Chain A
Amino acid sequence: MSERTENVVCTFCGCLCDDLVVEHEEGRIVKVLKACANGQGHFREYDPSPRLPRLEGRDVSWDEAYSAAGEILRSSRSPLIYGLSSAVTEAQRRAVELADRLGAVVDSTSSVCHGPTGLAMQGVGEPTCTLGEVRNRADLLLFWGCNPLVSHPRHFARYSTAKGRLTPEGRKSRTLIVVDVRPTAATKAADIFVQVEQGRDYEVLTALRALVQGKAMERPSVGGVAREALVDLAERFKNCRYGVAFMGMGLTMTRGRDLNVAELFSLVSDLNDYTRFSVIPMRGHGNVSGADQVTTWQCGFPFAVSFARGYPQYGPGEFTAVDFIARGDADAAVILASDPGAHFPRKAAERLREIPTIVIDPAESLSASQATLWLPTGVAGIDTAGSSYRMDGVALRLRPFLKAQRPSDEEVLVRLIEEVIR
């Protein structure tokens, strides 16, 4: 007899769609409704059956695993705790605590996606809003360096082009502008596609700021965009009712990085002299936004923090995981809910294989298969509970609908802390 659970939250991406329907039978998921392809995979690929930890290639009991973990952590002089972004807030809180108690470096996947966004915010601020304001108010949408149709497939339907209080006609109530270096599915869906030359976003943003402020532009084009097109954009921005810009890794991970983002944030700030305008970074992982939040509330800084001196030190470029590992500064690592073995640049990934690693992950990722110790945990929102932060900072409760047969990330981290402070 299959059971049905409604309003299930999907934690695959920063959209945290919370309207899914999951049918399950005898402790297994049989059908997922309303989810996008990414979300389908998130639910369907997880096997919730109990699994023993694996230490150096052999299955061991949980007790043995915890004492081995304790051994690794206690004998490390410069440990790294990395990942966090697919774990729930409760686990992230424990991960930062573990780092504090160990004197470790803690960093989240923010540092390889929206780290520059954080730096930009610290430089110039960030006028933002929740996704419901986009739904209810926004009549102009600007997507810059991101492709929601691939990375956040339900963003349009649920948020940015949904029908709302002042947007009764949904998509038709809006002008949709996409800026990218090449045509994508999103640019095809747009009313206006602005193609920028690779690596010239900063110049284009600066030109737009100048035009918005009423300055004349003499050059016929900037960054491959014609003057007329830029003038038209600037006018549209100033004359909309409520504009919202979304930005992604096309700005954060290309030439200019945090400077690109700061220029966009400044443009959005400037526009509030004329109308209302907000910006929302398109955060990727389900709770990467929460990782920033937790690290910030517990120690004051959003990512790239070292506790080696006993107090928190902020060091993007220094304590960001890729740099820290590639330099050979880490002598052990705890990897929570992420797969740096698969995603880090080659040098850092190689270094990672040379040091003892403890991977806490529901799935046997590449990092897990290469780890000294793999601790297989449950998935929040399927068989364990917790909270997650949407890309706009709204926290949702993840309710389990299957009976837990594995420990949660939080439970595992609590045990690691006990091992460390013993």
Chain B
Amino acid sequence: MAREVLSGDYAQSYAAKLARVDVVAAYPITPQTSIVEKLADLVVTGALRAQYIKVESEHSALQACVSASALGARAYTATSSQGLLLMHELLHWASGMRTPVVMGVANRAVAAPWSIDVDHADSMSQRDTGWIQFYAESNQEVLDTVLAAFRLSEDEAVRLPSMVAMDAFYLTHTVEPVDVPEQADVDRFLPPRSKVGTLDPHRPTRLGSFTSPEHYTEFRHAVASASKAAAQLAPTVEEEYARIVGRDLGGPLPRYLTDDADAILVTMGTATTTARSTVDALRAEGRKVGLAKLRRFRPFPSEEVRALGRTGARIGVLDRSFTYGAAGAAATEVMAALYAASPRPLVRSFVAGLGGRDITPALVRSLYRHLLEEEGPEVVWADLKVPPGEATAEALHG
């Protein structure tokens, strides 16, 4: 194990290299670009023996990966924001064809208006495409999760693609010490791909195909079952990773000081780090607050959320995205998971940090305050500067 100082982008590149990917196809977009630049270097210098396809768009990038994966190759791509939106059609193809492509996503706001900074609207817009979705808090987590994602995606019972998302700039362009596992350990953890479900170039079969109402539902149900299988298998994959590489990935919803908490904030990505230090500060002041990190959004960890609900705490979900006409994307899922809980905890949706706006300790404090002390609206745009008639946490607390 070597300790290196890596950006989130390079953590993706090195993970793809350690995974010994066969095929890389990608198109540049800030702030993902340095992932594929590094991979190009690794291929050119011979450090990574892979086919690097210089595609003319993200749509083609994912198509090339899907076609390569259909033949049994291990394929990797990375993108962000507009590029991910352009891939949307192919995202469904990838899950429908059961091609376990792994993709790095630099979470970036989407236009219009343009923004190159972090939020989660890009990947949240893809939540119903059948992809497994992970959100990383640190560059270490980026690297570990990409490796675990390959293993989970490629399991014969799963065969679904994964995206490993990380916050634009906060991770993509911030360097941190990262423990890079030994190749031999990764090889033990991640064996070559099984050929199950792939297109045999010497056998006349058709993959993709054209279906009637007689068969289509079962194809969809197979994806739903595979997604369930992914949730069931994930702990085993993580145990294996911990056993071989020596790091605990923490499951889909790692919890921090939640057992006796009166208020729990659910966070994703780098906002978790800010929230954790704020929890420490609030605890020091005698406030019983806790934190849960939503590491895996798809398949959604409903069971784990229900367990969180059984703490009896009020739950706030901090989303860096919004599904119009409803609430934050993760909040709607948390609410749905808790609907049948009895007693049903109070859940609020906090929307903040869009388009790169900082999620500060002061903001996180205001969210806990809102949860602990106040009644208020179910959906709060917590860092809105000019509230057009809607209450914000800031406004509520003066």
A binds B: no
Residues of B participating in the A interface, judged by any CB pair closer than 8 Å: none
Residues of A participating in the B interface, judged by any CB pair closer than 8 Å: none
